[in-house]
Amino acid sequence: MKICIVGAGGIGASIGARLALAGHEVSLVARGAHLKAIRAGGLHLIDQVNQVEQALPLPADDEPALLARQTGVQDVIFIGLKAHAIGAMLPRIAPLEGPETVVVPAINGLPWWYFHREGGALDGSSVRALDPNAEMFAALDPRHILGCVVHIAAEVRSPGSVHYTGGRRLILGEPDRSQSPRLLRVCEALQAAGFDAVASQDIRHDVWLKLIGNLSFNPVAALTGYLMNQICADDGVLEVIRKVMLEGMAVAAAYGQPMTMTVDQRIDLARQLGAARISMLQDLEQRRPLELDAIVGAVLELGASQAIEMPVTRLVHALAVARTRALGIATDVSTQKGTQ
């Protein structure tokens, strides 16, 4: 297949590199020093999961329209951007899209498409913290979308070099919960590339299962500087994690997604990532905007819409926002509440 990775950071580049090794025609949308290094020496994959190290010469550009002239319409587009960068990019990837192109947002947090074909009273609505004017739905017809939940760890430690450090699971699902041929085809490609790719029957449940962890671990990592294993070894910090998880689980249940996993089971799942540097900590250290809207703000918004009290989550969120301001990091935090 022709596959474009839009946002060749840690997760996107790792997925792209593994797919290229499996024989697919992979291209990358990257920028800055990272793009320059990829053009000069290829994408350098240091795969600690599969014990592979290789430089891959892949087409790369910072402008999707120019990349489309080289590679043509894509079969699959993986979006590996931070949540707050997606809105501006969606109109730009149009030249890469055809009628049958599948778009897979491999992103953290609550996705902007969450209520597309959800089937309930909020079907078709947008989350105002993520897409206040439904501009993202206008920029990309949501029929192209396959949901994706990522359970791998990776980071770009130097320009052109990606370290894939842990996990194999990628969960994909149709917004309407169907087991479509395109869903199975993409999962098969990822399986052949060395991932544990799962075709979900309810991708929103999988979104919440990961989001409960991100909601708690990510801002705490940014505040403490802890790696995942350090958080899990600190009983005092774990108590905060547990309280935030319980508040998030109450919101998930209010939207028809009661968790089938206990708090301690969810923490045990996080422990499997070992000494991973969580994405929000990576962003803080690189002085990049944190995904606070998608990971925390959107959940607070949905909780407020259901009159669910979330005092510990609000406290952690306020501290994380204050931390970014103290460091002079631009924030993506929205002041809007409720759904539209």
Residues facing residue 151 across a β-bridge: 169
Please work out, in degrees rounded to the nearest 5, the angle formed at the alpha carbon of residue 182 by the alpha carbons of 176 and 185. Answer: 135
Chain centroid, CA 265 distance in Å: 22
DSSP H/E element including 220: helix 203-224
- Using DSSP's 3-state secondary structure scheme, residue 241 falls into helix
What count of Cα atoms within 13 Å lies in the side-chain half-sphere of residue 283? Answer: 27
Find, among 326, 225, 239, the residue nearest to 278 by Cα: 225
* Positions marked catalytic: 210
* Number of CB atoms found within 10 A of residue 287's CB: 11
Find, among 224, 228, 234, 230, the residue nearest to 214 by Cα: 228
- Using DSSP's 3-state secondary structure scheme, residue 286 falls into coil
